Amino acid sequence: MPFIDDQMTSNAILILGAISTVVAAWGAIFSPQKFWHLNTETRNQLLALKAEFEFFKMSDDFDSKKDEITMRTFEKLQAILRNHNENWSSNRKDEAENS
């Protein structure tokens, strides 16, 4: 059985160390699970808002209340996006402080 020389051992350790550093940095910088949850929550809120608007569109008095419903829907949309951006910024700030 051939033996691995010291140079190969050193190179293997160096490569494994570099890979583990990259993997740790990826987790620390991007935290994909936390941002996946945030994106899923925002997507669900947007789908609920769309369903609510579609429901109002089907009502008999939509034409008379179109401006009010559209403005209310737009304000809810802005609140959802503002909340998403604030949570994203907060998560990034937490990631930076913890790394």
What tokens does 85 get? 């951006």
Task: Give the Cα separation of 36 and 59 in Å (integer).
Answer: 35
* pLDDT of 74 above 60: yes
Q: What would the mean pLDDT of 70-91 be, rounded to a whole number?
A: 92
Concatenating the DSSP letter of every residue in 28-63 gives HHH-HHHHHHHHHHHHHHHHHHHHHHHHHHHSTTHH
pLDDT tens by residue, 4-54: 566 767 777 778 778 877 777 666 566 677 888 999 999 999 999 999 999
More confident residue, 70 or 23: 70
Crossing angle for the helix pair 32-58 and 62-98, to the nearest 10 degrees: 170
Q: What is the pLDDT of residue 36?
A: 83
